[in-house]
Amino acid sequence: MLPTARALIAELDREAPATRRVLERVPADRFGWRPHPRSFSAGELAQHIAAIPGNVTRLAAQDAFDVSKRTPAYPACESAPALLSALDASLAAARDFLAGLDETGANATWRLTAGARELATMRRIDVIRTMGLNHWYHHRGELVVYLRLLDVPVPVVYGRSADESLTD
């Protein structure tokens, strides 16, 4: 396995428990809550977070992605167990994709476009880092804010939170 792919899988595996803790805290009776009319609902955001690793690896498997053709709908999660099952499937898909990358595939050029306009060009392996892991962390942090606004105890992500520590 490529060393870069191995490192990304290791990072994915290190971050997955924190993501799971955050997703486990989203109250099912508040899946429809949103902090602002233009914001995701809590359920939509949670489902998006659960799906990011698998979705991004499906994007990275292509040579390009045209954002003008994407469907901007984000489904809400059906239930807490379904959400965690979606996370598990998403993580497995990401691990499988990364484990199967060879040097040529990992370093192949990938493009993000909006119709004929090119927005970004990067190596396929870099899609996983920027559009995958960084995007995942961004939305996980956003969901932590939702939890705080819903007065749900915020779980440990790194170190401790105002509500718990690693030694609790």
pLDDT tier at 165, thresholds 50, 70, 90: confident
pLDDT for residue 126: 95
pLDDT tier at 168, thresholds 50, 70, 90: low
Each residue's pLDDT tens digit, 9-48: 999 999 999 999 999 999 999 999 999 999 999 999 999 9
Check if the beta carbon of residue 32 is closer than 8 Å to that of residue 43. Answer: yes
Check if the beta carbon of residue 57 is closer than 8 Å to that of residue 93. Answer: yes
Q: Where are the alpha helices (DSSP H) in the chain?
A: 3-25, 42-60, 80-99, 103-107, 124-127, 135-149
With tokens 């598990």, the residue in question is 88
CATH superfamily of domain region 3-149: dinb family like domain (1.20.120.450)
Each residue's pLDDT tens digit, 85-112: 999 999 999 999 999 999 999 999 999 9
| Neighbouring C-alpha atoms within 13 Å toward the C-beta of 126 | 10
Check pLDDT > 80 for residue 74. no
